[in-house]
Amino acid sequence: MMDKTYRTELCRIFLVEALPEPLTPASRHLQLFDNYIIETRLRLRSIRLPETKEWTYLLQHRLTVRDGDLSVLKVAEMHLDDAEHTQLETFEGNEIRKNRYFHEFDGRLFTFDIYLGALWGLNRARVDFQNEVDLAAFVPPPFAVFEVTNEPFFDDGKLVYRKFNEVREAVGKLSPLSDLPNRKSGPSDPLY
């Protein structure tokens, strides 16, 4: 039985070519530094708010609920103070850096992650749901090029060990969402 300290996250994740309008790289965002502790399901997350240079530190534990389904996760997290974070800094090194933007589209709040460093060029959008019925019925937005919700390769815990050329190769094996019947097509010339 799962401890009550875990919250359930239901989400779908898409690759996008770029930030949708009206967002730009200069729009308000968070800077995320996720360090994955080797051979565990733990990550040390540092969040920086550029306007104030304020930092927030978390230790997170993420679990899938069902094999092969990454759309439903159990997540537990602890907020850390500066001293606790300093003690855990020894685990830093397997890091993913990204800028996170927020934007509402069709009545749903999306988060957009623009990856930095070795994964520069990778852009993802995530949308969260309150229940599995809404999750299953959701029609991807026109700015979504590929859905990667249940593609383990595109989980951050795996991406931390990848380079963009490996991402490009993995994307080449995906079917674009524009191939789906009854869906508006997305960008005509995706970056991938």
Q: Which fold has domain 7-179?
A: Hypothetical Protein Pfu-838710-001 (2.40.320)
- Entry pTM: 0.89
Give the Cα-Cα-Cα angle 37, 59, 136 (nearest 5 degrees). 90
Query: How confident is the chain (192 residues) per 10-residue block, as mean pLDDT?
Result: 76 97 96 93 95 96 90 94 93 90 96 96 97 95 96 94 94 86 46 46
Tell me, what's the pLDDT at 23? Answer: 96
Q: Provide the pLDDT for residue 74.
A: 93
Give, for 133, the enclosing helix (H) or strand (E): helix 132-137
Domain boundaries, the chain: 7-179
Q: What is the pLDDT of residue 181?
A: 53
Tokens of 83: 């001293």
Q: What angle do CA 27, 29, 32 make, to 5 degrees?
A: 150
As given in the structure block, the two tokens for residue 144 are: 């979504």
